[in-house]
Copies of this chain bind each other. A is one copy, B any other.
Amino acid sequence: MPGPIDYLIPFIDYAGTLVFAVSGALAGIRRKFDVFGIFLMALVTAIGGGTLRDLLIGSTPVSWMLSNLYVYLVIGAVAFAVLLYPQIGKLRKGMFLFDTIGIALYTILGLQKALSFGLSPLIAVMLGVVSATFGGVIRDVLSGEVPLIFRREIYASACLLGAVVFLLIDSWLGDEAGMSIAIAVVFLIRFFAVKRKWSLSFLTRSLN
């Protein structure tokens, strides 16, 4: 019997795509790209992580190409970002909320897809993190910046921990509770990491 989370998953997926695309579009606007460049930034940010995951496991054509919906969402996000650019700062809290829930969901969905291709839990966890974070990496590389992920690792570490938690509890509690708890873990780690400026850099600080 499908529980409430089964109805929520598509909603979170689309909302996450929108928020990722808006963040990519904003990066394009700030770098003074024009409409085509802004669209490209929005697109790779929104679908880059899942695309890399699909390529690595051999699930082609890659999943966002099987429907027009993701492209429409990206086009909508670009229109939204361009038209509301001056006001968009006020939406920061809402975007942070959906962005964090989005990376949590993408982590779990990526992990499940990898497992369904027969890969080991360790590799599946890595592919979950790739799904959630590599859209941003590709966006940064294309726009000539060193990817944030190398320095702001809590973002990826939160996904990593959420994925491990999901793997540990999923078989006991079922997908619904497992997913809810894993998403909550990612959200809380990231929330407190941003709020209290957590960082892993103390581990290697002495080296430089």
Contact = CB atoms under 8 A, between A and B. Distances in A.
A119 interface: yes
Nearest to A71: B122
A123 B71 contact: yes
Interface stretch (A11-19, A55-63, A189-197): A55-63
Given A61-B117, A123-B65, A137-B142, A150 B203 contact: no
A122 B64 CA distance: 12
Nearest to A68: B122
Interface stretch (A35-43, A96-104, A164-172): A35-43
A49 to B, nearest CB: 14
Nearest to A208: B32
Number of copies of this chain that the complex holds:
3
A143 to B, nearest CB: 6
A177 interface: no
Contact of A36 (B34, B37, B123, B156): B156
A153 B32 CA distance: 12
A204 B38 contact: yes
A94 interface: no
A68 B29 CA distance: 41
A31 B123 CA distance: 27
27 contacts: A31-B150, A33-B150, A33-B204, A34-B200, A34-B201, A36-B156, A37-B149, A37-B153, A40-B149, A41-B150, A51-B56, A55-B56, A56-B65, A57-B60, A57-B65, A58-B58, A58-B61, A61-B119, A65-B123, A66-B119, A71-B122, A82-B204, A82-B207, A143-B146, A143-B150, A144-B144, A144-B145
